Chains A and B, each alone.
Chain A
Amino acid sequence: MVISPVHYIAVPLLAAFLIPLLSKFIHKELARIVPGIVFLYSIFISITLMLQIGDKGIISEVIAGWQAPWGINLVFSPFSGFLASLMSIIGFLIWLYSYNFKKIDKEQSQKYHILQMMMVTGAIGIVLTGDIFNLFVFMEITAITAYSLTSFYRERDGAEAGFKYLLIGSFASVLILLAIMILYTQLGTLNMAEIAQKSHLIPTSLKTTIIVLFLVGFGIEAEMFPLNGWAPDAYSQSPGPIGAAFAGIVVKAGVYALVRVIFTLFDIHGAYDFLIYGGLITMIIAETSALAQTNLKRMLAYSSIGQMGFVLMAFGIGTHQAIVGALFLMFNHAIIKSLLFMSGSYLTYNSLTKQISALSGLGKKLPLVSILFGIGAFAIVGLPPFSGFWSKLYVLSAAADKNMLLLIMTILAVSIVEIIYYFRVVSTLYYGKQNPEIEIQKPSINAMVSMIALGITILVVGVYPDVITNLLENAATALTDKATYIQSVLTQNLPIN
């Protein structure tokens, strides 16, 4: 069988439907093993397809044999392919980390693994699809799994966080549905390439409405201020690996949708400013809130929101270099935040409360986990020689090229705030008083492997950023090159009205 983008969706779906049967009638363990195999297969598809598009450009696959505007299509461009590959890899590492996570009940682990696998699949569907309504469907797949996983633990306030997330999430989906509806009445199509081609035909007043609805709707998923009320609770109440999945996968899909709407569907410049200001406000408010947090996971959550603000702002600058920087930030945020959540949840697991002060002295009891957390902390604030340094440099120099002095000042000021609160955690880890009563639960080998893999990636990318910049350059070009996107999706000539 020829490898094609639809395997990303079809294989996990087949596995998800098979797992209940397999685990009931063959062996219980299969429910935990099969998702791992599926993720490995996704990584294999990513590698094959990324090598293929190296010389072919964009792969556009039609579903059910109907050419582009008539049916649904999947688009594997350097941009969406980069994100899909990143999500598969992070998804695999999260699976590996949570394979025998102690806090997940044995009887419930089947449901956990199905939901986690489908969350990643939904996010991959969002970045691959070329149809706006199909994007909505995949967003709902991600959302429903996210609500369930947020309230996964019974002993916490998960249900409350999940309900809050659900309320805000349904609000987002209503807005997106309204936007799709108005768009459909104006253009009579749902294919994103055709919308991009014809979007100038929409009357201005309706166009503004559509864009605002889309921005607010996807902004909720991308944790944009003031629509991110769900995020801190969802991050802090969900299981540790799911916090990593939110930061590394779900939010990335939201940013993708936001960026796709602004850059490809409606190429208007007002929206760029919207991204800059929205991102800037998000960043400032989130980072200052992070400073005030005493709970480690809430702090990481606010830091994650701040980083997403940074990403949106970098996209808003709009030059090629800034977009490369934004993609680099997304990549870094995915790996670093995953590492921070993974190691952080072992740290909080081994302390009496989830407060930062309770972590004191764990650096000596859990040396490797603490070092990995430290690597993550140094990387995310952008210290050399870690990978976070390069992405910040890219964005700063792009801003300098456009003479955005105020922006640079803010980024630097916010970085100082970041340094303060991350160093506070790291110094508590190493210089705090040890609490002798605590019995240490060592992380399992598979969890260590996945954390070490992330740590090594951070170091390698930090020392040799060239391993990734080539991919990022291609991805940035693919994002801004609207004409090629339209051309490769709409191969046949359409009647123009």
Chain B
Amino acid sequence: MYNLELQNNLITTSVYGSAIALILIGLYAVLVKKNLIKIVIGLSIIDAGIHLLFVAIGYIKGFTAPIFSPGSENLANKMVDPVPQALVLTAIVIGFATTAVALSLVIRLYKHHNTARIDQIKSLKW
């Protein structure tokens, strides 16, 4: 009994914990790093953390994937929540698009100022 509870706690901590850790790592990179590419990487890491959290909230313990493959046609009552998975798919694509635009802006900033360090690019107020 005690072991089972401990196991549950461990799983919860590791799933939520790793997602939250990813968000924090990404945030750290965005706030502290001076290199624009590292900032963009930080943004992607935050996104990854959010997506992991999103998938995690749809999980139901002991349930199966929401696909009616042959042999699991009647398991509708034993399937995890499909909605977060669908939403994450959308969110990933949007995150990709944002990253692509961010990288192209970094390329232009680099060409313009010959540096990718944010503290050396200061034509506008930050």
**Taking beta carbons and an 8 Å cutoff, which residues of A are in contact with B?**
133, 137, 140, 143-144, 147-148, 151, 154, 157, 159-164, 166-167, 169-170, 173-174, 177-178, 180-181, 184-185, 190, 233, 237
Is there an interface contact between A157 and B124, defined as CB atoms closer than 8 Å?
yes
**Taking beta carbons and an 8 Å cutoff, which residues of B are in contact with A?**
30, 36, 39, 43, 46-47, 50, 53-54, 57, 83-84, 87, 90-91, 94, 97-98, 101-102, 105-106, 108-109, 112, 121, 123-126
> What is the CA–CA distance of A338 and B30 in the complex, to the nearest angstrom?
34
Is there an interface contact between A133 and B124, defined as CB atoms closer than 8 Å?
no
Chain B contact residues: helix, strand, loop or mixed: helix
> What is the CA–CA distance of A147 and B126 in the complex, to the nearest angstrom?
17
Is there an interface contact between B87 and A163, defined as CB atoms closer than 8 Å?
no
Is there an interface contact between B101 and A166, defined as CB atoms closer than 8 Å?
yes
> What is the CA–CA distance of A74 and B90 in the complex, to the nearest angstrom?
19
Closest-by-CB residue of A relative to B98 is A170
Point out the residues of chain A lying under 8 angstroms from B91, CB to CB.
177
> What is the CA–CA distance of A401 and B35 in the complex, to the nearest angstrom?
54
> What is the CA–CA distance of A140 and B108 in the complex, to the nearest angstrom?
22
> What is the CA–CA distance of A148 and B102 in the complex, to the nearest angstrom?
10
> What is the CA–CA distance of A169 and B98 in the complex, to the nearest angstrom?
10
Is there an interface contact between A160 and B123, defined as CB atoms closer than 8 Å?
yes
Beyond A144-B98, A163-B36, A233-B125, 20 extra complex contacts between A and B, CB < 8 Å: A140-B97, A140-B98, A144-B101, A147-B101, A148-B101, A157-B123, A159-B108, A160-B123, A160-B124, A163-B102, A164-B124, A164-B126, A167-B30, A170-B46, A170-B47, A173-B94, A177-B50, A180-B87, A181-B53, A184-B84
> What is the CA–CA distance of A463 and B3 in the complex, to the nearest angstrom?
78
CB contacts between A and B, total, < 8 Å: 75
Point out the residues of chain A lying under 8 angstroms from B102, CB to CB.
163, 166, 170
A–B complex contacts, Cβ < 8 Å, 26 sampled:
A137-B94, A140-B97, A143-B98, A144-B101, A147-B105, A148-B101, A151-B108, A157-B123, A159-B108, A159-B109, A161-B124, A163-B102, A163-B109, A164-B126, A166-B101, A166-B102, A167-B43, A169-B98, A170-B47, A173-B94, A174-B47, A174-B50, A177-B54, A181-B54, A181-B84, A184-B83
Is there an interface contact between A170 and B43, defined as CB atoms closer than 8 Å?
yes
> What is the CA–CA distance of A350 and B60 in the complex, to the nearest angstrom?
64
Given contacts A173-B94, A185-B57, contact A151 B105 (CB under 8 A): yes
